[in-house]
Amino acid sequence: MAKILLAVIMLLHVSSSSSSLPSSTVLDPLFLYIDEHQNEFVQRLGEWVAVKSDSSDQMLWGEIQRLLNMTANRIQEMGGQVEFADIGTQQLSNGESVALPPVILAQFERDPNKPTLCIYGHLDVQPAKKEDGWATDPYTLTELNGNLYGRGATDNKGPVLAWLHALETYKATKQEVPVNLKFVIEGMEEVGSDGLDELTRQRKESFFSDVDYIVISDNVWVSRRPALTYGTRGSSYFFVEVDGPKLDLHSGVFGGSVHEPMTDLIALLGSLLDHTGKILVPGINESVAPLTEEERELYKDIHFDLEEMKKPIGVKSFLQDNKEEILMARWRYPSLSIHGIEGAFSDKGSKTVIPRRVIGKFSLRQVPNMEPVVVERQVKEHLQAVFAKQKSPNNLKVTSSVGAKPWVANLNDPQYIAGRKAVKVVFGVEPELIREGSTIPIANNFQEVTGKSVMMLPIGGHDDGEHSQNEKISRYNFIQGTKLFAAFFYELSKLQKDP
């Protein structure tokens, strides 16, 4: 019966211009098709999750290429043109240079009367092993209680597929796609998107020249309500190396008589922040953009339940006392996190060794008005000053990597207006306007290099566990997210013609 109804709706409206019809007339057959084909969509996600596209392991780059090929084939089947853009090589530790997986640049037939939307996504994933604590095989999509578990389900294979399924839905129901579409799909995002920045600069006057809007779906909601994201933090990663004796020493023989590299390192790491989470590096907090009343108001309507957020991560309390302060600490203020110590004894059991060399690792998340180059200088000067006070004969070396800038967008941009309308159509509520505490370098890169409007339109749930064990996306979010993307195409075109 549902198939008959879909056919009738298609026959009634296939010859009409979608921009002149009420949204329900245009979107109802699309939503019906998506509901009818959801099992097929989930099956396809399972096929993608099964590809071990872990970009951190060069031995698995062939799997990334395989998934890029699968994606390109799907785009070509829908009438798109695909280019595998070369982004150069990477030198391995043994000196060998290997070609990086290419970037898909895809586009469909262009109508000069329609706005052009460019969709970014990535197909690579974080490492995952069942023995890391997964309840299921991370590369076998498993549905439990309405959730689809598997590495990449929410970051970022599910959202990329949802965009392709939204396009498929228009074509399958024989409705005119209301916007021109382009895709940028890469396979190295999880390790820094090597080569993508330069590729964007090279194609600024060609591939990106006629793009009006760029949309990214590579993050998640902050609560159970849908959201639009208008900002991310930047990030710099630091390595603090303390090198002392020429070999490891016996603590029973030399303990108490030598300057131990580990002791020096602990003092250095301990000087970075206090028990409240405040960063103690001089100058870091001075460049943070001041909080305006307009921005403060945005936090009041966000449905963030403190108790609900404590449970899945297993903490008893947060550093802040209320919702607004917690969200601002996560989104609009810098933070510093210590991640580990290389060279220290970490195996089971005991070992009474004094390591000759240790490397502390930490990252600093940056916010608007902070420059990575300046942050790097401030951190190095601080650590060198602290080390000098220790009067240690050991050697200190501080290096950094990444240096990704933060990103913030204009909420009054037409793309955000269309996004809000699409969310209201699909979910029946106004979206929460949120920022993202993590770093998505490509957002700022696209905005700075191309000068185009950039928006983040997430469909992942707040509890999806991206990068973690048992990553998932709910069937509800995956399917309703596909509807959201289909509605976004329509609302963006409608806004363009009826401002």
Tell me how far apart the alpha carbons of residues 274 and 373 are, in angstroms, rounded to a whole number: 24
Is position 189 annotated as part of the catalytic site?
Answer: yes
Report the 10 Å Cβ neighbour count for 294.
8
Rounded Cα–Cα distance for residues 95 and 497 (Å) = 55
Alpha-carbon distance values, 211 to 87, 221, 298 (Å): 21, 27, 29
CB atoms within 10 A of CB 37: 18
Burial 1-17 (b: 16+ CB within 10 A, else e): eeeeebeebbeebeeee
Strands 432-436 vs 227-232: parallel, antiparallel or unpaired: parallel
Pairing of strands 89-91, 97-99: antiparallel
Tell me the residue ranges of DSSP E strands in 272-370. 335-342, 353-354, 357-366
Phi then psi for residue 231, to 5 deg, are: -165, 150
The H or E element containing residue 176 is none
Query: Of 54, 63, 124, 168, which one is the catalytic site residue?
Result: 124
Is 218 annotated for ligand binding? yes
Using alpha carbons, list the distances in angstroms from residue 300 to 21, 457, 497.
36, 21, 33
Q: Is 190 part of any known ligand binding site?
A: yes
212 is in an annotated binding site: no
CB atoms within 10 A of CB 223: 17
Find the catalytic residue in 189, 264, 376, 471. Answer: 189
Collapsed DSSP state (helix, strand, coil) of residue 390:
helix
In eight-state DSSP terms, residue 2 is: H
CB crowding 50-83: b at 16 or more within 10 Å, else e: bbbbbbeeeebbebbbbbbeebbebbeebebebe
Residues 6+ apart with CB under 8 A from 369: 287, 288, 289
Contact 350, 227 (CB under 8 A): no
Asked if residue 122 belongs to a known ligand binding site, the reply is yes
Cα–Cα dist 345/343, whole Å: 7
Distance CA 339, CA 119 (A): 33
Radius of gyration of the chain (CA): 25
- The continuous run of DSSP H or E covering 50 comes out as none
Rounded to 10 degrees, the C-alpha dihedral 309/311/315/317 comes to 60
Whether residue 498 is annotated as binding a ligand: the answer is: no
Residue ranges at the known binding site for Mn(2+)? 122, 155, 190, 218, 467
Active site residues: 124, 189
Residue ranges at the known binding site? 122, 155, 190, 218, 467
